[in-house]
Amino acid sequence: MKIRQLEAMRALIATGTTTQAAEVMGISQSAISRLISQLEDTLGFVLFDRHRGRLTITPEGREFYGIAEDILTQVDQIQETASNIRAHGTGTLRVVAMPAIGTCMLPQPLKMLREEYPNLNIIIDLKNRSELQQAVAERRYDIGLATLPIVQQGLVVEPLCTVRSVIIMPKGHRLAGKDVVGAEDLDGESLVSLSADTVMRYRTEELFTRLKIKCQSAIEATSTILLGNLVRIGLGVAIVHPFVAEHFNSQLEIRPFEPEVDISYGLIYAEGARRLRVADQLSKNMRICFSSSSQFIPQPQEGGPVG
């Protein structure tokens, strides 16, 4: 028994004649008759009564078609899924990102992707650096977004962009009158900072040590979004990713910071895994969105510690 034979039966029931059924299926009338005869031979009973050029389904045929129709519905669903895969590269895109940058950097590129592929199912998850690396390496996600550098076996890292960090401060802060805030301006200032195992914390501490600047470490947190909220209520100032700063644009004072603290972002893939078309499109969307940032640096750069 073949699916094509069941499809011929469905076409005959819908149209009532082999001529019309042939038109629906795009084959010859003799081919329709042959498919039905082959199906009847396989089943061992007659499916249609022939009378004056028209075909009427038999009671046995009607009972059999009750089951065959369920099978054909499932086949239609399989074909629709296959069509989506051909168009989108996959029916589902699984994305994982570090919490703050995922929260601030992914929404607009994903909106663009959704407009381009309206039937695409998108799953987004937020994880810390080590969890993200392991999850992508194990192919639990199609694409990851993280700050660079990342060095781990089983991963392919594609630099996305580099941006210059900015300083955020509460409204009315004493440094808000400056067009650019220098590191020396922070001597003795209360600083809200990320935890010690982050690229941002490493680079700012290295800068302050080199310039012999002493900041008061007010609060340490693992989330840059949390830093923004702590700064907003007056608990200190913070050096953050510009995309995170833009998230608080109307609530905080944001200024360029010198000397520059550059942060690079990258897309992470499992080594040897098939690159999905929609993942590549998401990458393109991110490049379009991020290139409009005033802190964007065209050529990605890497450096600093792993972690």
Q: What is the tens place of the pLDDT at every residue in 90-108? A: 578 999 999 888 998 999 9
Q: What is the pLDDT of residue 76?
A: 80
> With 60 as the cut, is the pLDDT of residue 299 above it?
no
Within the chain, strands assigned E span 48-51, 54-57, 92-97, 121-126, 143-147, 155-164, 166-169, 181-182, 190-194, 216-221, 238-240, 253-258, 262-270, 296-297
Give Dmax (Cα) for the chain.
Answer: 102
Q: For the whole prediction, is pTM greater than 0.75? A: no
Q: In the structure encoding, which two tokens stand for residue 239, read together?
A: 């050096």
Statement: residue 202 has pLDDT above 50: yes
The confidence score (pLDDT) of residue 87 equals 59
pLDDT tens digits along 23-42: 999 999 999 999 999 999 99
How far apart are the C-alpha atoms of 111 and 99, rounded to whole Å? 18
Q: What is the pLDDT at residue 301?
A: 36
Residue 202 and residue 174: Cα distance in Å, rounded?
Answer: 26
Q: What is the percent of the chain where pLDDT is above 70?
A: 91
**Average pLDDT in the 112-119 region?**
90
Give 21-30 contacts, CB < 8 A, sequence gap 24+. Answer: none
Helix (H, G, I), strand (E, B) or coil at 181: strand
Query: Domains of the chain by range and CATH?
Result: 3-88 (1.10.10.10), 92-161+264-297 (3.40.190.10), 166-259 (3.40.190.10)
What is the C-alpha radius of gyration for the chain, rounded to an integer number of angstroms? 31
Confidence of residue 135 (pLDDT cuts 50, 70, 90): very high
pLDDT-above-90 percentage for the chain = 52
- Average model confidence (pLDDT) for the chain? 87
- Per-residue pLDDT tens for 149-176? 888 889 999 999 888 999 999 999 999 9
Give every CB contact of residue 77 below 8 A, 6+ residues apart in sequence: none
Structure tokens at 219: 């609060």
Which has more pLDDT, 294 or 40? 40
pLDDT at residue 81, rounded to an integer: 67
Please report the pLDDT score of residue 64 as a whole number.
93
pLDDT tens-digit series, residues 230-273: 999 999 999 998 888 988 988 999 999 999 998 899 999 999 98
* Cα–Cα distance for residue pair 249/180, rounded to 1 Å: 16
Q: What is the pLDDT of residue 257?
A: 95
| Tokens, residue 48 | 């249609």
Residue with tokens 């290295």: 206
Task: Tell whether the model's pLDDT for residue 120 goes beyond 90.
Answer: no
CA 130 from centroid of its chain's CA atoms? 19
Confidence grade of residue 85 (pLDDT, cut at 50, 70, 90): low
Sheet of 155-164, strand order? 121-126, 92-97, 143-147, 262-270, 155-164, 296-297
Q: Which residue has the tokens 């009532």?
A: 16
71: helix, strand or coil = helix
- Residue 142: helix, strand or coil by DSSP? coil
Per-residue confidence (pLDDT) for residue 89, from 0 to 100 = 53
